[in-house]
Amino acid sequence: MLVMESADSIRSLYRHFLSGITGKSLNAFYYACSYAKVDYSRFMNVTASLALKLVPAQLRSQPVLLCIDDTMISKFGTKFEDVSNLFDHAAHHGSNYLNGHCFVSLMLCVPVWLNRKIVYQSVPLGYRMWQKKESKLDLAASMVRQVMPELSSEKNVIILCDSWYAKKNLVRIVDEYSNLDVVCNARLDSVMYDLPPEPTGKRGRPAKRGRRLSAKDDFDLSGQKAGGYHTGVRRVFTNIFGEREVLAYVTSAGKTDGSRRLFFSTVFPWQLQVFCAWQEKAPLSQTGSSWMKYIPLFLYAYRWNIEVSYYEQKTFWSLCHYMVRRREGIEMLVNLVNMAYCAMKLLPYKDEKFSGYRTKSVQEFRFALSEQIRKQIFYATFIKNIENNIKSNAVMKALKQLVRRQGIHL
């Protein structure tokens, strides 16, 4: 995949590269994808473990983030296993429905140093194909449970998700792990209640919750914009999180008019240790004492990284081009594409020789690496052939010198 800079199909990979370096048949690679006894769910644990090793010792107290979302891939025909008619709210082809597959994915964001600033390096851990027998919420929760053992030593692990995933099946998973929290967008009409009133001393059971709150009427927005929005915050109870007290944030572009958005956070600002002054990304880098209460909301901005990953993998990494028909083969190939993508994200931090590519796009690094791989393979094959067919020591010596001038050491 790295050499060809794409993975249009297994047949294409075999025809243009694999057949030249192996004696295996094309069917062997199809069989490996669909029938090999490989637990590709373990790919997520390995990738998460490698990503966490990038975090320097000075930043171990910083929160790590888990982004959850799903993406759709359009396919033609009905020959692909589990293909179905899906609703796509972001469709731009004249219809809100497409024929294809839906994949739920999980991304890990870890803090690293870059140009003396803290940036969050985003690594997609894996994809799971949605089937109608299991909801996307349960699928996402199982993926979180899969990687949480790797994150057990982290102080704060925060799930970031949009309003579609802000439901009990997923967000209640925070009750299973002491270091896990969630910051999520929510429907504006989500049911919220004020904190219970002070005991009156009268007979009877005291109220567990206060009056019902409205996101439109019961939040006082800040006079100054924080992160581009006027924001209001208060502690509430909500049906989504049961008896757990959470923070509710309401944002609006305008002080008196403009549409409002609602967010919930199970983590409170004083539970986080965020080095705001060293952050590269605003508004975290601009956070002063008056904005400290908005830190969980500011962290939500990193959820957009998963959308960037979808765009790059679909546009430059052939994520949509698979032609394998069985579900196991499709998931295997999609996750192999994701592994190649993650390798290009992690390698500049793992190997100092490639540190110059930390500020480059993964596509640019892939191009540079694929060029060197092609040279290595060409010269290795070339030398092997001439050693078998050319007997002149003088010619052999001249050819080897020419190869070495190209920077290839055999």
pLDDT tops 90 at residue 309 = yes
Task: Show the tokens assigned to 71.
Answer: 């993406």
pLDDT tops 60 at residue 239 = yes
Mean pLDDT of 106-128: 95
Strand 97-114 relative to strand 64-74, pairing:
antiparallel
Q: Is 194 exposed, middle or buried (0-12, 13-18, 19+ CB in 10 A)?
A: middle
* Cβ neighbours of 223 (radius 10 Å): 7
Q: What percent of the chain has pLDDT over 90?
A: 55
pLDDT tops 60 at residue 58 = yes
* Cβ neighbours of 106 (radius 10 Å): 25
Mean pLDDT of 226-234: 92
> What pLDDT is recorded for position 57?
93
pLDDT tops 90 at residue 180 = yes
∠ CA 277-279-282, rounded to 5° = 100
pLDDT tops 90 at residue 344 = yes
Instruction: Give the pTM.
Output: 0.87
Most distant pair of Cα atoms in the chain: their distance: 107
What digits encode the pLDDT tens for the residues 197-211? 887 777 778 888 999
DSSP per position, 307-323: HHHHHHHHHHS-TT---
> What pLDDT is recorded for position 401?
60
Mean pLDDT of 378-383: 66
∠ CA 171-176-180, rounded to 5° = 65
pLDDT tops 60 at residue 187 = yes
SS3 259: coil
Mean pLDDT of 231-251: 95
Higher pLDDT, 390 or 396: 396
> What pLDDT is recorded for position 409?
46
Lowest mean pLDDT among 32-36, 102-106, 237-241: 32-36
Q: How confident is the model at residue 4 (pLDDT cuts 50, 70, 90)?
A: confident
Mean pLDDT of 104-113: 96
Higher pLDDT, 7 or 209: 209
Q: Write down the mean pLDDT value for the chain.
A: 87
- Tokens 């469709």 -> residue: 91
pLDDT tops 70 at residue 333 = yes
> What pLDDT is recorded for position 371?
85
Task: Show the tokens assigned to 213.
Answer: 């709150």
Task: Show the tokens assigned to 224.
Answer: 């100054």
> What pLDDT is recorded for position 94?
67
> What pLDDT is recorded for position 246?
97
Q: How confident is the model at residue 123 (pLDDT cuts 50, 70, 90)?
A: very high
Task: Show the tokens assigned to 52.
Answer: 């966490």
